[in-house]
Structure 1
Amino acid sequence: MYIKGLLREIYLEPRVVVSAAIEKALETLRERSGLPLEIEHTPGGSECLTWLIPPRWLVEEAYISDGQHKIVDHEHHPLYVPPYSEPFEGWVSREELDRHLFSEPERPAFIPFMVDWELEFRERDWGFSLPDTLRVTLDQDRYYVCIRTRVEEYGDLTTGVCRLPGRSKREILLVTNTCHPGQINDAISGVGVALEVMRRLRDRPDLRWSYRLLLVPEYLGSAAHLDRHMDQVDHFECAMMLKILGNDAPFSLQHSSRGTHRIDRIFAHVLRHGYGAYREEGFREITGNDELFFESQGIDVPCVSLSRCRKITMQDRFFGLFEEYHSSGDEPDRLHEEKLQEAVDLVMAVIEVFEGDVVPIARFKGPINLYRHDLWLDFDKTQGAGERLNRVMALIDGGKSAFDLAEETGMYFNDCLLFLKELSRIGYVEFKEP
């Protein structure tokens, strides 16, 4: 699936956390992906866990005019009007207008995303975001402002859910965000990656694990889903948060709070053996997203985060996790299809470990003569390979899995599993599921 093309269809929709645009985007994603995506509705005003779902907010029309031409128009980009802006119409002085304008001199060509207005929807005023290059050209005495917005107190928050059942009732969750209007890498690049992973899993016969994809507005969507399905939380094995995956930067792995769960170890293992340089940090040391809900009191589902976020310093605090972060600069032309597909391949490699891992049971005594069976060094050409194979055989105890053996010996999981399958083929090993 061409991920970038799919995301381009929805990125300019005004996808604030509770909006008709998110439901429209979910319907588009369901149609284009061909996945059995269910859309769940949570009414505005509902209390989910300890969080209140805000009302639905709509922009009917919004612009700034000099009396002859529209200088700023919400139709051209959804970031021009901060989320939950109050309505306002009338002529204002340049001085009064300036008090309601938001721009970033540090990134003068971009429209900033006023994310705080979305999170603190009860503290509202009217306003516009715009590029600083445009703001400094506003030199008339008066301007006409039109902001026609309305709040629907009982509009629904919408989330997308796709389930793929396996032999086990234990579920691995893929979580990603559908909000952040007029931006594509943050956050919907994760949506595209997760959909392609689920498409590949759908076409795979006989899944061992069950999988659940959650396409949710940040924070509130996870709160709503967990509150609705609290009786199913005990089936959740672990979760992965996918976000900011289409930019040209190395992968960043943010561990779960415990840091030692199997999903932590498998992600680190796959990155270490197949993806060169990458960044690895502890829980919420790279970015803060919905892992906060999955690792919370009474839920306790280990959740790692995969992204391509850079390390932030005070010098580049305005640019955030990547250069165009939270701005109109986060556009399709800056998204790399090959990076999105690389993220899909990485997640699939992690899932292959979950799906393919086995516990070997020895049916031999002493060291196996690998020369006799043409197995010596065939599976690992690096220095010390032979000793690693000997070590794998010595560590088989009927409890350690192939992944455990790979980790203890420094082998890549695929190589270790292939070696064990060869031992099974010649009758020296039997397998059971972990």
Structure 2
Amino acid sequence: MLRIQTQNNAPQPDELIGLAQRLFPICRSITGNGFRQSLSILQEHLPGLRIHEVASGTKVFDWTVPDEWNIRDAYVLDPLGQKVIDFKQHNLHLVGYSEPISKKLSLQELQQHLHSLPDKPDAIPYVTSYYKRAWGFCLTQRQRDSLIDGEYTVFIDADLAPGSLTYGDLVIPGAVKDEVFFSTYLCHPSMANNELSGPIVTTFLAKWLLGLPHRHFTYRIAIVPETIGALVYLNQNLRTLRKRV
């Protein structure tokens, strides 16, 4: 029977909340500087966290690492010149991986690129288009219902070009080489139930494991973008994972 070791270095709730408050405003996606910035913050808690870059176009099983996306600004102006949708106000307002655009549209044309939740009129949906070139905005149903007829100005200042996918991992050695494997996503922006709860709990779990005076198993921590990041990690570590996990 394994004995459960406890010690007084368990994290306090305000430590977890403080980390969440730092990470929450960052616009993350499956690639890009927001993901890198977030990993850099996690490295403050886990100095041994290794950062890896995998080039766009890399074949991963039957998937391909996509182009890198970085967003600077995005908004929609109504016919009166009022900014009715603003990425800088909430980064969920922009469809993830939206391609750059600057044009004028009628309300009818704009509606084809808008996303809302009629059954949740005060919620902003989370929508992405990682693998299909597109653009769009998300807003509450109440906002959408208040839009007036006329000509709208749409502006998205983004880069979508070859770059790389970023992920982090950490191996915490134990008495044996057999591994316990923890994996978490970090790519979702400004949400809590998936990100940021997963990476924050995983980070403090890793800190707790590092502080143990004795570890029987070796522990592997992977912090990756969803789906494609997990596939990249499996592709690059498959032999070790099959042998030790």
Q: What is the aligned partner in structure 2 of residue 165 from structure 1?
A: 173
Instruction: Tell me the alpha carbon deviations over residues 159-205 of structure 1, each in whole angstroms, 9 at most, x when there is no partner.
Output: 11111101111110011110111212212201111111111111112
1:149 is displaced (CA, Å) by 2.0
2:121 is aligned with 1:108: yes
The answer on whether the counterparts of 2:185 and 2:223 sit within 8 Å (CA) in structure 1 is: yes
Larger Rg: 1
2:23 match: secondary structure? coil
Q: What is the aligned partner in structure 2 of residue 63 from structure 1?
A: 75
Q: Give the RMSD, CA atoms, in angstroms.
A: 1.5
Q: 1:235-246 residue pairs with structure 2 within 5 A?
A: 235-237=243-245
Q: What is the aligned partner in structure 2 of residue 88 from structure 1?
A: 101
Cα separation, 2, equivalents of 1:194 and 1:235: 23
1:4 is displaced (CA, Å) by 1.9
Cα separation, 2, equivalents of 1:222 and 1:73: 32
Q: What is the aligned partner in structure 2 of residue 147 from structure 1?
A: 156
Q: What is the aligned partner in structure 2 of residue 321 from structure 1?
A: none
The answer on whether the counterparts of 2:99 and 2:160 sit within 8 Å (CA) in structure 1 is: no
Q: Which amino acid aligns with 1:133?
A: R
Cα separation, 2, equivalents of 1:35 and 1:7: 18
1:163 match: secondary structure? strand
The answer on whether the counterparts of 2:105 and 2:154 sit within 8 Å (CA) in structure 1 is: yes
Instruction: Tell me the alpha carbon deviations over residues 111-135 of structure 1, each in whole angstroms, 9 at most, x when there is no partner.
Output: 10114x23xx2x2222111111101
Q: Which amino acid aligns with 1:22?
A: F
The answer on whether the counterparts of 1:160 and 1:214 sit within 8 Å (CA) in structure 2 is: yes
1:22 is displaced (CA, Å) by 0.5
Cα separation, 1, equivalents of 2:242 and 2:110: 53
The answer on whether the counterparts of 1:17 and 1:217 sit within 8 Å (CA) in structure 2 is: yes
Q: Which amino acid aligns with 1:181?
A: P
Cα separation, 1, equivalents of 2:207 and 2:134: 43
In proportion to residue count, which structure has more helix? 1
Q: How many residues align?
A: 231
Q: Which amino acid aligns with 2:223?
A: L
Q: What is the aligned partner in structure 2 of residue 199 from structure 1?
A: 207
1:9 match: secondary structure? helix
- TM-score, with length taken from structure 1: 0.51
1:17 is displaced (CA, Å) by 0.6
1:17 match: secondary structure? coil
Q: Which amino acid aligns with 2:155?
A: C
Q: What is the aligned partner in structure 2 of residue 185 from structure 1?
A: 193
The answer on whether the counterparts of 1:65 and 1:72 sit within 8 Å (CA) in structure 2 is: yes
Cα separation, 1, equivalents of 2:107 and 2:16: 43
Cα separation, 2, equivalents of 1:200 and 1:21: 26
Q: What is the aligned partner in structure 2 of residue 228 from structure 1?
A: 236
Cα separation, 2, equivalents of 1:10 and 1:192: 9
The answer on whether the counterparts of 2:189 and 2:195 sit within 8 Å (CA) in structure 1 is: no
- TM-score, with length taken from structure 2: 0.89
Cα separation, 2, equivalents of 1:61 and 1:194: 31
1:50 is displaced (CA, Å) by 2.1
Q: What is the aligned partner in structure 1 of residue 58 from structure 2?
A: 46
The answer on whether the counterparts of 1:179 and 1:188 sit within 8 Å (CA) in structure 2 is: no
2:157 match: secondary structure? strand
Cα separation, 2, equivalents of 1:149 and 1:134: 24
Instruction: Tell me the alpha carbon deviations over residues 81-104 of structure 1, each in whole angstroms, 9 at most, x when there is no partner.
Output: 112222221221111111111111
Q: Which amino acid aligns with 1:205?
A: P
Cα separation, 2, equivalents of 1:177 and 1:3: 17
Cα separation, 2, equivalents of 1:23 and 1:236: 28
Q: CA separation of 1:15/1:38 partners in 2, compared to 1, >3 Å: closer, same or farther?
A: same
Q: Which amino acid aligns with 2:31?
A: V
Q: What is the aligned partner in structure 2 of residue 389 from structure 1?
A: none
2:140 is aligned with 1:131: yes
Q: 1:31-430 residue pairs with structure 2 within 5 A?
A: 31=44, 33-66=45-78, 67-115=80-128, 117-118=129-130, 121=131, 123-153=132-162, 155-237=163-245
Cα separation, 2, equivalents of 1:125 and 1:36: 38
The answer on whether the counterparts of 1:171 and 1:211 sit within 8 Å (CA) in structure 2 is: yes
Percent identity, aligned pairs only, is 29
The answer on whether the counterparts of 1:169 and 1:235 sit within 8 Å (CA) in structure 2 is: no
Cα separation, 1, equivalents of 2:73 and 2:202: 34
Q: CA separation of 1:34/1:150 partners in 2, compared to 1, >3 Å: closer, same or farther?
A: closer
Cα separation, 2, equivalents of 1:212 and 1:55: 28
Which of structures 1 and 2 has the larger relative contact order (alpha carbons within 8 angstroms, sep 6+)?
Answer: 2
Q: What is the aligned partner in structure 2 of residue 5 from structure 1?
A: 18
Q: Which amino acid aligns with 2:166?
A: T
Cα separation, 2, equivalents of 1:234 and 1:94: 54
Unaligned stretches of 5+ residues in structure 2: 1-10
In proportion to residue count, which structure has more strand? 2
Instruction: Tell me the alpha carbon deviations over residues 292-340 of structure 1, each in whole angstroms, 9 at most, x when there is no partner.
Output: xxxxxxxxxxxxxxxxxxxxxxxxxxxxxxxxxxxxxxxxxxxxxxxxx
